[in-house]
Amino acid sequence: MKYLPLNPKLFIQNRKRFIAAMEKNAIAIFNSNDELPTNGDALYTFKQNSDLYWLTGIEQEDTMLILFPDNTDKQYREVLVLVRPNELKEKWDGRRLRIKEAQAISGIDTIIWLDTLGGMLQPWIHLADTIYLNSNENDRKANLVPVRDYRYAEEIRKRYPLHQYRRSAKIMKTLRSVKTKEEVAVMQTAIDITEKAFRRLLSFIRPGVMEYEIEAEIYHEFLRNRATGPAYHSIIASGDRARTLHYVSNNEECKDGELVLMDFGAEYGGYCADLTRTVPVNGKFTRRQKDVYNACLHLHRYAASILSPGITIIEYTDKVGEEATKQFVKLGLIKKADIKNEDKDNRAYRKYLYHGISHHLGIDVHDLGTRTAPICEGMVFTIEPGIYIEEEQMGIRIENNFWINKKGNKDLMKNIPITAEEIEALMKK
């Protein structure tokens, strides 16, 4: 790992929260993700299962976690399972964790090797009444490949058909959506690195620069500050390409008079930042660009004023939609007749703002959390309204990350330049 060691208290707390939600005399089993092939003998860069990482901080492949808080043998109430270091494999692929190293990262005392698990796990399961098995229940999931979690669940259910089974994911969805202060501190580091990258860009962007050159500057700043890398594929979209929400080609020239929309964030310690800024390529907004930018900033600030405990994402999105309607009338994008005749399921403002305003943020960029239940203290959200005008070949989005507190929220990106005047002044320098 490139990042500095995290305080194991973060993962110890997370395990305590999960154990507190388990039924009596239950055992929970978590698996790492698969190593996946690309072509030939190559593998994709390994990415740990988010739930397993949240509970242990371990990023190594072939890892398991066993939680059995009612085990009669106290030594085996928390067990971290690692692949045994192999001298030949380490010559090819690098060093694997030793017991003391894994203990220091996770805060788990009992470490066993994967090749010894079989004979130990069966007696523990025989003592338990209920087995918690994990699955990916992110509402945005699109993967139909039978990954390890699902293969393992099928295997265990065949082997132990008379046990009760529960979904760990149902608990994880609730727990992971509410961040501890230790988690937010790690996210703040990712955000601070992202801020450094954005400030670097303000002195780099100019007419004629290529989108991929901007992307390269971002990666450079991330890596030199110990980030693992980008939290997601950076979007660098100049001109009309900014209207494509997940534009990732990043291969065109940024031209004089255009705006460039940049959506990027660092990953640090397993946690993500998610920033969007839209700046003038030549360093100066036109009058029209500034008017649209300020309307988007108004929506951003309005959304921040109402994102607080008790409101649901659906209610919140509807309120921002009402405010967007007012702003779009002022900009001359929609008329009162458009509003009067709008389809309730496809409102008039949706022509120019066709995505959600916020999503949960954490270990995953689109982190676990509900859309229907009321927002709770401790959740972290993006706020990212946009205005996309096909007729003017213009797209603007402004995004910060917010931690929900009792009174409302805290802007974790409050130090990152956001107004048109701040951006122009820094680009001029």
Kindly tell me the sign of the dihedral angle through the C-alpha atoms of 209, 214, 215, 221.
positive
**What tokens were used for 131?**
């087995």
Structure confidence at residue 31 (pLDDT): 98
DSSP of 285-343: --HHHHHHHHHHHHHHHHHHHH--TT--HHHHHHHHHHHHHHHHHHTTSS-HHHHHT-B
Other C-beta atoms lying within 10 Å of the C-beta of residue 35? 13
Residue, of 137 and 335, whose pLDDT is higher: 335
Per-residue pLDDT of 361-382, as tens digits, reads: 999 999 999 889 999 999 999 9
Q: Output the pLDDT for position 75.
A: 97
pLDDT at 304 over 90: yes
Of 93 and 10, the one with more pLDDT:
10
pLDDT at 143 over 80: no
* 3-class SS letters over 141-187: CCCCCCCHHHHHHHHHHHHCCCCEEEEHHHHHHHHHHECCHHHHHHH
Cα–Cα distance for residue pair 179/378, rounded to 1 Å: 5
pLDDT of residue 331: 98
Tokens 């458009």 found at: 338
Element (H, E) at 424: helix 420-428
Please tell me the chain's helix, strand, coil percentages from 3-state DSSP, rounded to the nearest 5: 40, 20, 40
- Does the pLDDT at position 142 exceed 80? no
Predicted pLDDT at 222: 98
Q: Name the nearest CA neighbour of 15 among 30, 25, 4.
A: 30
CB 356 within 8 A of CB 375: no
pLDDT in tens, 87-140: 988 999 899 999 999 999 999 999 999 999 999 999 999 999 999 999 998 888
User: What local confidence, expressed as pLDDT, does residue 269 receive?
Assistant: 98
pLDDT at 1: 85
* 229: three-class secondary structure by DSSP: strand
Sequence letter at residue 337:
A
Model pLDDT, residue 310:
97
Q: 337: which 2 tokens?
A: 């007749």
Nearest-5° angle of CA 408, CA 409, CA 412?
A: 170
User: What is the average per-residue pLDDT within 154-168?
Assistant: 98
Distance CA 301, CA 51 (A): 33
Write down the mean pLDDT value for the chain.
Answer: 96
In the prediction, which pLDDT does 145 show? Answer: 81
Cα-to-chain-centroid distance, residue 199: 22
What lies within 8 Å, CB to CB, of 25 at 6+ separation is 70, 127, 128, 129, 130
Structural domains of the chain ordered from first start? 9-176 (3.40.350.10), 181-428 (3.90.230.10)
Amino acid at 362: G
| Entry pTM | 0.96
Residues 25-84 pLDDT 10s: 999 999 999 999 999 989 999 999 999 999 999 999 999 999 999 999 999 999 999 999
Q: Which of 80-94, 172-186, 266-280, 378-392 has the lowest mean pLDDT?
A: 80-94
Note the pLDDT of residue 84.
Answer: 96
pLDDT one-digit tens code per residue, 253-276: 999 999 999 999 999 999 999 999
The angle at the Cα of 303, spanning 279 to 354, to the nearest 5 degrees, equals 65
Q: Tell me the C-alpha distance between 49 and 138, whole Å.
A: 12
What pLDDT is attached to residue 137?
87
pLDDT above 90 (res 281): yes
Residues 28/22, Cβ–Cβ less than 8 Å? yes
d(CA 63, CA 55): 12
Q: Give the DSSP per-residue string, 183-216.
A: HHHHHHHHHHHHHHHHHHHHTT--TT-BHHHHHH
Would you place residue 179 in the very low, low, confident or very high pLDDT band (cuts 50, 70, 90)? very high
Per-residue pLDDT of 203-223, as tens digits, reads 999 999 999 999 999 999 999
Residue 47, pLDDT score: 95
pLDDT-based confidence at residue 144 (cuts at 50, 70, 90): confident
Q: Angle at the Cα of 179 (from 174 to 181), degrees rounded to 5?
A: 155
Q: How far lies 347's CA from each of 98, 330, 343, 353, 368, in Å?
A: 57, 17, 5, 10, 28
Interaxial angle between packed helices 181-202 and 211-224, expressed in degrees from 0 to 180 and rounded to the nearest 10: 130
